[in-house]
Structure 1
Amino acid sequence: MPVLPGKLAGQVNAPAPPSANTFSVLLVTLSIQALVSMGVLAVPAMGPAMAQAMGVSPALLGAYIGLVYVGAMVASLMSAPLVLRYGALRTSQLALLGCAVGLALPALWPSLPAAVIGALLTGLGYGPVTPASSHLLARSTPPERASLVFSVKQTGVPLGGVMAGAIVPPIVQAAGAQVALLSVVAACIVCMFAAQPFRAALDEDRDPARPLRMGSFMGGLKLVGSEPALKQLATMSFVFSIAQMCLSTYLVTYLHGSLGYTLVAAGGLLSASQAGGVVGRIAWGWMADRWLDPYRMLAILAAAMAVCAGGAALMQADTPATLVLVLLVAFGASAIGWNGVYLAEVARRSPPGMAGVATSGTLAFTFFGVVVGPPLFGALSNVAGSYRAGYAAVAVPTAVCALVLWRLGRRAR
């Protein structure tokens, strides 16, 4: 029997009860994933307005995202034992609560201390969601439909970006940054309570007596360190996550401040790039299953990221809007769309029964890329006086990854 993505060490992959059919579980997990992703990108989507409200430079958005993913990295390592003890849905509900509190703090108290604490809390909410949702889907999804179902669930991340870009800037323009953030807070709280009727069915496998030990939190990192293939994938994800979050974090600020787009138009282009990621996550996984091996598919996506990052650096105020739209959709399709292929390959390369632990360990590397990438992007852009320098810099490591992954694909075959 194949190991499904998200299966946790020591977990019996028992089928979910009849009330927990695949569609309902997918709907719940997709909704939670989309809302926490929207919460992470809510502040970047209103970057100039939020920076003005706090009296700081928009370049500090990178530091904000870095702090979010410090919290996410810690939470991802803690997720496996928490899911087994408290249940995957309860863990997801607590994640929504963490995001809500993390956004409410800077909304009600617009200051640097509130932004720092809020970013960490938002990250603590974001980190457990992917392992928890994978745990739920592994129990409710027939093996022959697992690839499609998991791919659809993974679209929740860019879908949250679409929502952030399409909803947050218009609310900022109409009612201000505080109302915009509190609207996202309200959505997270509503989703948290809406998921409660599913709790009894979906968390029936929890073990309240299961102890929480420090060793259980570090199991994912130890596994990645012992498996060469997992180390390669984790390193790749470190670079790819830098490209993904630099696109999402700074795009609105770059378009608005450097190219003269209105905040609403810039938010619309952010949504378009995220929509490219939604389509890409499903399309690339389908192609990797049928036409290309995963390493070759990831190599092609890395090359596309490098080309699109270089193209973003070359954009000018008079660049045709259609060309900008096409470039950013392609950027999103590659820089955001790689995750499904990556997670599926992590599951395939994991020892039997250890896919969930391997996922939590590799996600720590993925999140670490987000911790260091956007702040470096912001610092470089601040020194150079333009965000073009940051996007040009992103093109270099992604191009190197393309070459390395292509060679690894030859060895794997």
Structure 2
Amino acid sequence: MPLLITLGIQALVSMASLTPPVLAPAAAAEIGVPASLIGLFVGLVYIGSMLSSLGSGDLIGRFGAIRISQACLILCAAGLALATVGVPAAIVLSALLIGFGYGPVTPASSHILARTTPANRMGFVFSLKQTGVPLGGMLAGALVPTMVLLAGWRGAALAVALFCVVMAVLTQPIRAALDDDRDAHRRISLSGVLGPLRMVFAYKAVRDLAICSFFFGAMQLCLTTFLVTYLTEEFGLRLVAAGLVLSVAQAAGIFGRLLWGWVADHWIASRILLGLLAVGMASCALLLAVYAHGWPFAWVLVLCAAFGGTAIGWNGVYLAEIARLAPAGQTGAMTGGALFITYSGVVAGPPLFAGIVSMTGEHASGFLAFGLIVMLIGMSLVLTRAQRTDPEADRQARRRINQ
């Protein structure tokens, strides 16, 4: 039940965040702004996610993970509803509200699953829950265009908002059981917002993985943002064929999240596996940039499937490892601090990639540069072992957090 609930919440929040890009062509034509401005909207969503993820630890401790998840669903619903006003100020606020709702969902679900999942199954369970992100994208892509045809773009936005509200209501019966560890007297302060970041940097193993996730998140979003344009402009593929390649990469990401979670539980330590996945995604990026021009379509499809399976499939293993390394009762806060760094890469990656493209005139240079950086990070993870935290080091880390 905790897994099903967190998976459903994750999928709907993801669907809410990806509904505006699907609505963009229809909405932009009516509002009178370029559809390309959706890139700024997505950036604002992730900025909101970065900020709200930092405060998630105290909020989860005070109100409970389910209550915070319900609040996130309501915030996403409010953001979608506000977007239907159709004026620039409302749209900016809409993006921030959706981001504020998106950010705490993963820390909240990690808090729940860390309490209810056996240690030897955490990799697979966290990875299965994280399939809610691409699942939400698939739902947005499959359902929202039809709803636009039936009810217009405003009706489609309000329909997705209603889905979020319904999910918030459906989770209420299990709230008491899953939020039984909340502390109604826990203090919430602005100074406490930086606590999750202090916690991340106090534990070296967590800090290392969080910094690596900055580049993994950047690579993931650059793949999903620029692949279709790259394949159409520099490979000469038709738009439908390029869209098919992206869909296959996304589907491979879902499969990869499940596969790598199972592998982390049974075969390969999470840190080493994340390093191998980094080497894999970097190799795919380098092949796509340097060698894949002129390949048959089938081989390009296979390469991009492998790219998606690694660059989109790493999240569950990463979050499960953060949960394992977090002090008892601090999974939500630790995850929130780590995700602040991850989302920073998501925000910074596409503009950096676009800057490389503008300087060189080709997308291949962007994939080449990002591939080389991620390759070095992956080799570092594979070739170096995480240091075990002894009791004295753990006490020192706690003192740094309290300071």
Secondary structure, aligned partner of 2:55:
helix
Contact 1:83–1:132 (CA under 8 A) maintained in structure 2: yes
Which residue does the alignment assign to 1:11?
A: none
* CA distance in structure 2 between the partners assigned to 1:96 and 1:195 by the alignment: 11
In the TM superposition, 1:242-261 aligns within 5 A as 242-251=218-227, 261=238
Which residue does the alignment assign to 1:85?
A: 62
* CA distance in structure 1 between the partners assigned to 2:104 and 2:64 by the alignment: 12
Which residue does the alignment assign to 2:180?
A: 204
Residue 50 of structure 2, aligned match among 62, 73, 81: 73
Tell me: CA distance 1:34–1:143, structure 2 relative to 1, closer, same or farther (3 Å).
same
Contact 1:162–1:270 (CA under 8 A) maintained in structure 2: no
Tell me: CA distance 1:87–1:117, structure 2 relative to 1, closer, same or farther (3 Å).
same
Which residue does the alignment assign to 2:34?
A: 56
C-alpha distance after superposition, 1:244-303 (max 9, x if no partner):
12223344565677756457x665544432221221112112223333232331122112
Which residue does the alignment assign to 1:31?
A: 8
Residue 41 of structure 1, aligned match among 13, 18, 21: 18
Q: Confirm whether residue 116 of structure 1 aligns to residue 92 of structure 2.
A: yes
C-alpha distance after superposition, 1:343-365 (max 9, x if no partner):
23323434455443322221111
Which residue does the alignment assign to 2:72?
A: 95
Contact 1:67–1:119 (CA under 8 A) maintained in structure 2: yes
Residue 315 of structure 2, aligned match among 313, 326, 339: 339
Secondary structure, aligned partner of 2:319:
helix
Residue 82 of structure 2, aligned match among 105, 113, 116: 105
Which residue does the alignment assign to 2:376?
A: 400
* CA distance in structure 1 between the partners assigned to 2:264 and 2:122 by the alignment: 14
Contact 1:70–1:123 (CA under 8 A) maintained in structure 2: yes
* CA distance in structure 2 between the partners assigned to 1:410 and 1:228 by the alignment: 8
Q: Which amino acid aligns with 2:197?
A: L
Which residue does the alignment assign to 1:374?
A: 350
Unaligned runs of 5+ in 2: 389-403
Worse overlay, 81-90 or 320-329: 320-329
Contact 2:292–2:300 (CA under 8 A) maintained in structure 1: no
Worse overlay, 91-100 or 162-171: 162-171
* CA distance in structure 2 between the partners assigned to 1:324 and 1:402 by the alignment: 23
Which residue does the alignment assign to 1:14?
A: none
Contact 1:273–1:331 (CA under 8 A) maintained in structure 2: yes
Q: Which amino acid aligns with 2:41?
A: Y
Contact 2:126–2:319 (CA under 8 A) maintained in structure 1: no
Q: Which amino acid aligns with 1:364?
A: F
Tell me: CA distance 1:383–1:114, structure 2 relative to 1, closer, same or farther (3 Å).
farther
Secondary structure, aligned partner of 1:218:
helix
* CA distance in structure 2 between the partners assigned to 1:47 and 1:321 by the alignment: 29
Q: Confirm whether residue 128 of structure 1 aligns to residue 104 of structure 2.
A: yes
1:127 Cα deviation after fit: 0.7
Tell me: CA distance 1:38–1:386, structure 2 relative to 1, closer, same or farther (3 Å).
farther
* CA distance in structure 1 between the partners assigned to 2:328 and 2:97 by the alignment: 33
Q: Which amino acid aligns with 1:159?
A: L
In the TM superposition, 1:154-233 aligns within 5 A as 154-169=130-145, 171=147, 177-233=153-209
| Corresponding residue pairs, total | 386
Worse overlay, 133-142 or 249-258: 249-258
TM-score by length of 2: 0.83
Contact 1:303–1:402 (CA under 8 A) maintained in structure 2: yes
* CA distance in structure 2 between the partners assigned to 1:73 and 1:42 by the alignment: 20
Secondary structure, aligned partner of 1:208:
coil
Tell me: CA distance 1:39–1:256, structure 2 relative to 1, closer, same or farther (3 Å).
farther
Residue 337 of structure 2, aligned match among 361, 367, 371: 361
C-alpha distance after superposition, 1:170-212 (max 9, x if no partner):
5557766444434432322222222223223333333333221
* CA distance in structure 2 between the partners assigned to 1:356 and 1:129 by the alignment: 10
1:45 Cα deviation after fit: 4.5
Q: Which amino acid aligns with 2:40?
A: A
Identity of aligned residues (%): 47
Which residue does the alignment assign to 2:113?
A: 137
Residue 272 of structure 1, aligned match among 241, 245, 248: 248
Tell me: CA distance 1:255–1:122, structure 2 relative to 1, closer, same or farther (3 Å).
farther
Which residue does the alignment assign to 1:5?
A: none
Q: Which amino acid aligns with 2:34?
A: V
Contact 1:293–1:409 (CA under 8 A) maintained in structure 2: no
1:231 Cα deviation after fit: 1.8
Tell me: CA distance 1:317–1:175, structure 2 relative to 1, closer, same or farther (3 Å).
farther
* CA distance in structure 2 between the partners assigned to 1:333 and 1:267 by the alignment: 17
Q: Which amino acid aligns with 1:56?
A: P
1:124 Cα deviation after fit: 0.5
1:233 Cα deviation after fit: 0.9
Tell me: CA distance 1:207–1:274, structure 2 relative to 1, closer, same or farther (3 Å).
same
Tell me: CA distance 1:294–1:148, structure 2 relative to 1, closer, same or farther (3 Å).
closer
* CA distance in structure 2 between the partners assigned to 1:387 and 1:186 by the alignment: 39
Tell me: CA distance 1:351–1:188, structure 2 relative to 1, closer, same or farther (3 Å).
closer
Contact 1:44–1:249 (CA under 8 A) maintained in structure 2: no
